[in-house]
Amino acid sequence: MNRDIIELREVITKLVPLLSGKGLMVTQRGSQAYVQTDAKTKQPVLVNIPNIPDNANSEFIAAISGFIDHEVAHVLHTDWHYYGGKGGMSERDLRDPRRRAFMNTHNIIEDVMIEREQVKTFPGAARNLSVTRKWFLEKITDAALKGVKDPKEQFRYIMVPMMRALGGHEEMQDWMDKHGYWKHPLVEEMLATMKPATLELLKKATTTKETLVVAEEVHDILMGKILPPPPPQPSKTKDKSESKGKSVDKPEKEAGEGDGDGERDHSKSEPNEGKSGKGKQKKKDDKGEGDGDEAGDEKSKPDSSKGGKNEKKDKEDDAEEEAGADDDGDPSDGSEEDSDDDAGDDGDADADPESEVGDSEEEDDAPGADEDPQDEGDESGNEGAEDGPDEEDNSSADESSNNGDDGDDDEGGRRNEVSSVITSGDEGGGIGEVGDGSEEEHQGGGGGVGNAAAKSLFDYEDGDFEAVDMSSQIAIKISDAAVAAMDPRQYLVFTREMDEIKPVQVPDNMNSKWVPEMEDETRQMTSKMQKDIERMMASQSHVIRTPGHRTGKLHAPSLFRVPGGDPRVFTQKQEHVSKDTAVSVVIDNSGSMGGPKMKLAMTAGYALCSTLDRVKISHEVIGFTTGGYYGMPQSLREAMAEDAKKARINWDRVIPIVMPIYKTFDERLTATVKSRFAFMRNAQAGLNGNIDGESLEYAAERLLKRSEKRKVMLVLSDGQPAGGAKCGPHLSGVVQSLGKLGVECIGIGIMDSSVTKYYPKSTVLHKAEDLPGQVMTEIKKILTGM
């Protein structure tokens, strides 16, 4: 017997009535762990865990308990009206891949909240959930990440621990720290893109409505709808101060690349020229870096106020080439790839702070970016004067965000696409205003054209995070571990949920003569056994009188205290009786006991019960048999068939055990109790099979709850267990394990000596008259320790 498994069964037994009103059933069947959900709402309606064998370790059992606690938390804390979106999930939504994908993301966030709330409601769940999380990381996440090199594929498995770590789960935080996953490129981008308010809400959310807000932002980031903030850029003041006096080029031309600094002095601004065209001018002039002086001379000529189509075409072609270079490099930092290509140039340190995030450093370091302010105004101001700063910036953003597109025909489509992009905003995760190229937004880390042109590392598709949540993966792993733990040589049970332990139901029309007849037959043997037990108890008991009490029997030698005013002149009796014993009488009610055997067993059981009741020794009398296969519900039989397909396990028991109670520990020998014995002694109803080993385990569970120091079990049976080839060895193993737990077992054979094979202490009873002699001899040996 595994005490941890017994406790787990008790937890399930207590959960069933607690949760039945909320529409959830918890079962323990077969070898598979699974959660059945409502087809319309996705709300769990049944949680099943495997009927694990006794050799399961405590860690595995605790992980199963945590799995149950998690699903119970869903029932108690999830608001299904907001689960998967406002209004919940309909059958139509569940058929939509996009809605289902969002529901998966929401479930990952929701799990963080419900487990936190479950611990607040049931503090005892903290240990189970902690073990389950560690088990998930060790058995599932670490195993899945082993050998995976692709960062995108890695993040699929890091996603759940990361969100739980951000939500305050210490086990997940330790795991992220241990493996250094906070430095993972996709993790860093996720943290940089999420709003601080969203991160804070993830830690403190207490409702599904709040987790929905977090899930919406996280899902948009995963799908690439929210772009990351741009990297930190140097200040404008620093750029201007560093650009003075470095160029030797003529003022009217752009600085060539060559071996110089890539900078130039700027001429005085022309009238009607604005500063807002600066970003646009740089965009058109930054294509020649790294091509030598000749290329620099060709591409550094000043533009007209609007620029020609040919020049615009050249600019877009160059942008396509640069975009291709970006795609071949690290997607998280396209500018670094270009920077490596131009490592020989010295203009990298002077990138314009207004540059787009999506452009390479070739563009950022263009010589024109460092011209004298006068020349810069001369060239960029013309464009700003005619087209306006907002229009020009929008055009720049459109072109930079679509470097892979060809020609001018798609320019309008690119503009529409960029204007609909959701950007990170100043705090990350906000809505960027395309065309607003203010320096403050760029430096704030989001929004504006620069951020709209940023490239996200996230481009996951619907279904990429299907069933990666902890609950789904734990269910699969529990099933695998349960099957592995089920040794074919062991005694295996499909389920215990249909087993019954309840008092015998006596019909109202029972023959009224049955009780008097039973009492008359047992009266003589009961009197003799009672005297034997009382003598035995007396020999084990002792009585002493202690003086010095204020009340009790007067103690003459203590009367000297009276003159001194001391009233302690009495003695009191202290009796130490050896009755600190609990007895369980277990009677075989199988079909083979029908007829004289059953009558003898019930007569002996009643005689023992009457004797123990008279001497006030706590005891219980209980029977054991089985129910029928076709009496089980159809759903359970279907579950057996389904499990057989998946696991192919030969179960040693699939039918339920039935244990009729004749008298509980807390009952006295009343008329109702007597009628139960008399009814089964004569009617002998419901006699079927006998699964002795498990039946003794059930009886022992009840006996072990007693506070008495000694625990004795008397088993009345007629022979071999019936139920399969493994039932005999299983019974022997149970008797041995009960002995280790402190339960002393005595087998009493009813007209059969088979009990001697399974019980170290046993005797055979052929007739009721032998009961006081043979049985009492064994009882004396146990109770007196002889």
Q: How confident is the model at residue 525 (pLDDT cuts 50, 70, 90)?
A: confident
Pairwise CA distance, residues 225 & 216, whole Å: 11
Pairwise CA distance, residues 141 & 164, whole Å: 13
pLDDT, mean of residues 257-272: 48
pLDDT digits over 194-234, tens only?
999 999 999 999 999 999 999 999 999 999 888 888 776 66
Whether residue 245 has pLDDT greater than 50:
no
Whole-number mean pLDDT of the chain? 75
pLDDT digits over 164-192, tens only?
999 999 999 999 999 999 999 999 999 99
Which residue would you say has higher pLDDT here, 302 or 588?
Answer: 588
Whether residue 119 has pLDDT greater than 80:
yes
The most confident of 55-69, 379-393, 440-454, by mean pLDDT? 55-69
Structure tokens, 416: 């529409």
Give the length of the chain: 786
Instruction: Report yes or no: 323 and 315 within 8 Å, Cβ to Cβ.
Output: no
pLDDT, mean of residues 267-292: 43
pLDDT, mean of residues 529-543: 71
> What's the confidence (pLDDT) of residue 247?
43
Name, in order, each residue with C-beta under 8 angstroms of 195's C-beta and a sequence gap of 6 or more.
217, 425, 427, 428, 429, 430
> What's the confidence (pLDDT) of residue 227?
83
Instruction: Report yes or no: 715 and 550 within 8 Å, Cβ to Cβ.
Output: no
> What's the confidence (pLDDT) of residue 182?
96
Whether residue 711 has pLDDT greater than 90:
yes
Which residue would you say has higher pLDDT here, 473 or 423?
Answer: 473
Pairwise CA distance, residues 275 & 376, whole Å: 9
Structure tokens, 91: 């059958």
Instruction: Report yes or no: 628 and 543 within 8 Å, Cβ to Cβ.
Output: no
Pairwise CA distance, residues 138 & 360, whole Å: 42
Q: Give the DSSP H or E segment for 661.
A: strand 657-663
Pairwise CA distance, residues 297 & 285, whole Å: 11
In the block, tokens 């002996």 appear at: 604
Pairwise CA distance, residues 360 & 282, whole Å: 13
Structure tokens, 726: 């493994």
Q: Across-strand partners of 716?
A: 587, 748
Q: Where are the beta strands (DSSP E) in 92-222?
A: none
Which residue would you say has higher pLDDT here, 102 or 274?
Answer: 102
pLDDT digits over 345-378, tens only?
444 434 343 434 334 343 444 333 344 444 444 4
Name, in order, each residue with C-beta under 8 angstroms of 343's C-beta and a sequence gap of 6 or more.
none
Whether residue 443 has pLDDT greater than 50:
no
Q: CB-based burial of residue 635 (10 Å sphere; 0-12 exposed, 13-18 middle, 19+ buried)? A: exposed
Q: How many CB atoms lie within 10 A of CB 460?
A: 19
Q: What is the 3 state secondary structure string of 306-332?
A: CCCHHHHHHHHHHHHHHHHHHHHCCCC
pLDDT digits over 748-762, tens only?
999 998 899 999 888
C-alpha dist (Å) from residue 101 to 56, 161, 210, 223, 460: 36, 19, 19, 10, 10
Structure tokens, 667: 């009952």
Instruction: Report yes or no: 500 and 688 within 8 Å, Cβ to Cβ.
Output: no
Instruction: Report yes or no: 543 and 575 within 8 Å, Cβ to Cβ.
Output: yes
Whether residue 410 has pLDDT greater than 50:
no
Structure tokens, 536: 């035995």
pLDDT digits over 279-288, tens only?
444 444 444 4
> What's the confidence (pLDDT) of residue 280?
41
Pairwise CA distance, residues 702 & 705, whole Å: 6
> What's the confidence (pLDDT) of residue 233?
67
Q: What is the 8-class DSSP label of residue 23?
A: T
Instruction: Report yes or no: 510 and 679 within 8 Å, Cβ to Cβ.
Output: yes
> What's the confidence (pLDDT) of residue 309?
44
Q: How many CB atoms lie within 10 A of CB 707?
A: 7
Cα radius of gyration rounded to whole Å, the chain:
42
Q: What is the 8-class DSSP label of residue 669?
A: S
Pairwise CA distance, residues 735 & 783, whole Å: 18
Structure tokens, 55: 């050799």
Structure tokens, 436: 């607003």
Whether residue 696 has pLDDT greater than 70:
yes
Lowest mean pLDDT among 9-13, 214-218, 483-487, 654-658: 9-13
Residue 186: phi, psi to the nearest 5?
A: -75, -30
Structure tokens, 546: 């202690």
> What's the confidence (pLDDT) of residue 237?
53
Residue 474: phi, psi to the nearest 5?
A: -65, -40
pLDDT digits over 302-332, tens only?
444 444 444 444 444 544 444 444 444 443 4
Domains and CATH numbers, the chain: 3-226+466-476 (no CATH), 238-422 (no CATH), 543-576 (no CATH), 578-627+659-784 (3.40.50.410)
- Rounded (5°) CA angle 110-114-116: 120
pLDDT, mean of residues 142-150: 92
Instruction: Report yes or no: 482 and 474 within 8 Å, Cβ to Cβ.
Output: no
pLDDT digits over 381-392, tens only?
444 434 443 443
Three-state DSSP state, 36: strand
Q: Where are the beta strands (DSSP E) in 401-519?
A: 500-503
Q: How confident is the model at residue 78 (pLDDT cuts 50, 70, 90)?
A: very high
